[in-house]
A = this chain, B = another copy of it.
Amino acid sequence: MHVAVLFFAFALTGTTLALDNGLMRTPPMGWLAWERYRCDIDCENDPKNCISENLFMDMADRLAEDGWKELGYVYVNIDDCWSSKQRDDQGRLQPDPKRFPGGIKKLAHYLHNRGLKLGIYGDMGKLTCGGYPGTPLDKIELDAQTFADWEVDMFKYDGCYSNATEQELGYPLMSKALNATGRPIGYSCSWPAYQGGLPPKVNYTQLGEICNLWRNYGDIQDSWDSVLNIVDWFFENQDALTSAAGPGRWNDPDMLIIGDFGLSMEQSRSQMALWAIMAAPLFMSNDLRTISSGAQSILRNKMAISINQDALGIQGRRIVKKSGIEVFWRPLSKNASALLFFSRRTDMPYRYTTSLSKLNYTAGSYKVFNVFTDETASLKDSTEFVVSVNPTGVVMWYVSAPAKFNLRQFYQGGTLHGRVYDDREENAIPRVFL
């Protein structure tokens, strides 16, 4: 709640730290090819899964016809390996003629006609990571104009085969070039992932001014280990990362792998919930033509999505880290918040006893909505409760504003910070963050 107050105060000054293209005031949602389809260009033997216009049109059909679009999943994003190995005779990038015979502009129209948006991919080096033509410094303006001509809506700029100096010049230059086209194009920068993801090497203030989202860390793989690795990194470095995020500028822990091969249902709920806490972009990388109903119900969870998409855009934090159990918290609009209990156990459910007051909530009576079971409860701050969290699973709550709310007690300084406490501190922790 206190965070909300701070944010509004800040917003009133009239400045903005986000890229000034008006886009992505909430984390972008959609579908992205890479994790699931990689650089599969073997359309002869694997026509349903190869990187081709058919794949993107298939996914567009699913997003538009199966109700995903209405939930917010509107981007359909091409990743690496879409282009011809040669630029055209005017030096422009061009799609592989066999796999994208209609061209990118026609594909963009196909999407736009269905209320969807198209994303495309490039790389700052001489080559993309997959070995296709890159977009080095001297090609930035040309390629930005090409994407705009094709009516592309989002651009991811990767960094393979480029050095730090080129990146320092190129990422801001591309931002300017995209803006200069006059077309609103969401801009995803892989820059910080190539700089180790942390200040002082990464300048998150600058990133917020030139990019709409950025990859801070390595690529996700289709495994629970990979999800845990990403989650660990993002929350161990939350002090450096959370302040970078806000409307129009997002940390990107990479794609949702829900519906693929590596996650159990518990783990799928955990990824969805943790990405919601992180205010992360929600790009599914899966097969929407064959996805199971179980995975669908997680990806379509309206309360998880609304937490992710909260208008304040404040990235959540880990507030408890004990052996086997962790608790995460994200402040939301209307003085509400999200609470997430996450078990690291791999044996039996963790029965965790706590109270809202122990979790830094102020005195009052709260309404609690369980995101994945739709149960509701009323809870006083002082009431001890037990939450049973399955191995590798989560319990996620939307917590409404307290019945009694004293604004003064939240606003006692000018900086926003949280803290992680451990067992030893538990009886000594302050009740309020600020």
Contacts and interface: CB of A to CB of B under 8 A. Distances in A.
Chain multiplicity (copies): 2
Contacts of A263: 264
A417 interface: no
B38 A222 contact: no
Interface stretch (A101-109, A156-164, A389-397): A389-397
A312 B400 CA distance: 63
Interface string A259-299: 01111111100000000000000000000000010100000
A262 B223 contact: no
A262 B391 contact: yes
Contacts of A36: 348
A36 to B, nearest CB: 7
A40 interface: yes
B262 A348 contact: no
A428 interface: no
Contacts of A40: 348
Nearest to A386: B45
A44 interface: no
Given A225-B225, A260-B391, A262-B264, 17 more contacts: A38-B348, A46-B351, A49-B349, A221-B346, A221-B347, A222-B392, A223-B224, A224-B262, A226-B346, A261-B264, A261-B266, A261-B390, A261-B391, A261-B393, A262-B266, A264-B264, A292-B294
The 3 A-B residue pairs with the shortest CB-CB distance, nearest first, are A261-B391, A223-B346, A221-B346
Interface of A: 35-38, 40, 45-46, 49, 221-226, 260-267, 292, 294, 346-349, 351, 386, 390-393
